[in-house]
Structure 1
């Protein structure tokens, strides 16, 4: 059985993403590993010569109490969505979030990570911020990133951005396997810029290879790559957008607040970030 890691701080953002994690677990037939990671403050023990250890013990205990209090709420959410049969295990870890995520991925043999992020400005902070940029670039399993505004809806259309490279094809096949489990269609987008180096025969070879699969290919001529992707999401009714993390800095550009408010406010779907070498 596959495993999905779900890091949570029990916030509204994380709770919303939890529903997506449950539904995704149902699709890929996986169990959930819920991770609550927290940082203990650094004290100079010369100022706490007698109760230094007691302070840490009490802080760890308070985190455990929060954890113990919140878990039944998550189970109630699972029951409300008729997903209480999804197997769930729980981990409480202190220390750096990225370190704990990577440690859990290795120890628990994690196949996917699902995380929440907050709103339009949250997207920018999420992808541009050092911590999450590190998570995305530092994690080598697919990561589903869920904005607060994204209510779960049945996955019928998965968007996939590509440059028709061999490594893109490997990722596309993984996405296709997910799509087949939910009877979804994959809409594959290539934004052909004026300096494009992708030959027509390469595109035709891909179309021929996947001709019997639920995949549609769209080649759009434009030098406005990010804006074209936004239009693609809106007009092709994309439910989840797959993006490959080979291009560092791309997320920083696509979520810059300089883009129009109208576009930003409409961007409320999850992103499946897939790491490729």
Structure 2
């Protein structure tokens, strides 16, 4: 059984991500955890030191959270009614990142699926700071769904790589698990800077070949482009339904998202983005 965490702030954006997850995993036996976290708008030290109930705020906020979670549960049952899926709601007085960390470990979560905010140029805003922080801090595959994205089966998947990762089961299995019910093809994209692959990179490439041997896959090598340009250009000429990247601290993933030039890269993502951590809580 797959265990999938669905953080929600009850926005249309988060509902859209929930719908995507329910459709993507419709053929899987799954347990979905709907998660809402809350902290009071007024966050005084004395509020934390003394029981929140004494202020009367915590109860109201919690009741509101539980009520909205119940509404979402009923909405899921009404619209999807999938006997393979069970839903459990979690309402937590905590920050989003800390609670996701705890739930991922406690429940043995396989994927976190969450919505992203609309594009305005800066990646922090494009994804929403919450999503970027989740990418950075959560050791679990994260699937980020762009605002207003309508579900498409992931028939064509784009997987950019610099072949610097020694691929292991926990890197590739989440990809294969998603693709197992779809007639998918993986497009492995390498951006060349005029150098031949090192011996280690060649080994990693062969290792990747072994993992994808049961799946349709194609290798692509481009030069004279940055990674964001290569991804954007590939999307323009091919109908890609999902982007997959491994969050290797020393790879272009980190350069792509977490450097100071973040607002200059013009990286506009319009498709679901699966981010695989280099290490997971299960390794």
- Separation in 2 of the partners of 1:129 and 1:65? 24
Q: Contact (CA 8 Å) 2:39, 2:95: kept in 1 or not?
A: yes
Q: Contact (CA 8 Å) 1:164, 1:198: kept in 2 or not?
A: no
Distance change in 2, residues 1:178/1:130 (3 Å): closer
- Separation in 1 of the partners of 2:52 and 2:3? 38
Q: Does 1:109 align with 2:108?
A: yes
Gaps of 5+ in 2: none
Moved more, 123-132 or 236-245: 123-132
1:219 maps to what in 2? 221
Q: Does 1:147 align with 2:146?
A: yes
Q: Contact (CA 8 Å) 1:27, 1:182: kept in 2 or not?
A: no
1:242 maps to what in 2? 244
Moved more, 2-11 or 167-176: 167-176
2:278 maps to what in 1? 276
Distance change in 2, residues 1:67/1:236 (3 Å): same
1:61 maps to what in 2? 60
Gaps of 5+ in 1: none
- Separation in 2 of the partners of 1:254 and 1:230? 21
Distance change in 2, residues 1:9/1:203 (3 Å): closer
Deviation digits for residues 221-269 of structure 1, max 9, x if unmatched? Answer: 2242210111112222110100111142422469955456xx73xx311
Q: Does 1:10 align with 2:10?
A: yes
Measured on the aligned residues, the alpha-carbon RMSD in Å equals: 3.3
1:185 maps to what in 2? 185
2:234 maps to what in 1? 232
1:119 maps to what in 2? 118
Distance change in 2, residues 1:203/1:69 (3 Å): closer
Distance change in 2, residues 1:116/1:45 (3 Å): same
- Separation in 2 of the partners of 1:62 and 1:141? 29
Q: Contact (CA 8 Å) 2:167, 2:208: kept in 1 or not?
A: no
Q: Contact (CA 8 Å) 1:119, 1:148: kept in 2 or not?
A: yes
Q: Does 1:251 align with 2:246?
A: no
The TM-score normalised by the length of structure 2 is 0.80
Q: Using the TM superposition, give the Cα deviation of residue 8 of structure 1 relative to its aligned residue in structure 2, in angstroms.
A: 0.5
Aligned residues: 269
Q: Contact (CA 8 Å) 1:155, 1:184: kept in 2 or not?
A: yes
- Separation in 2 of the partners of 1:15 and 1:257? 27
Q: Contact (CA 8 Å) 1:160, 1:172: kept in 2 or not?
A: no
The aligned runs of 1:14-163 (5 Å cut-off) are 14-40=14-40, 41-43=42-44, 45=46, 53-55=53-55, 57-81=56-80, 83=82, 86-121=85-120, 124-125=123-124, 131-163=130-162
Q: Using the TM superposition, give the Cα deviation of residue 104 of structure 1 relative to its aligned residue in structure 2, in angstroms.
A: 0.5
Moved more, 238-247 or 202-211: 202-211
Moved more, 98-107 or 185-194: 185-194
- Separation in 2 of the partners of 1:204 and 1:112? 25
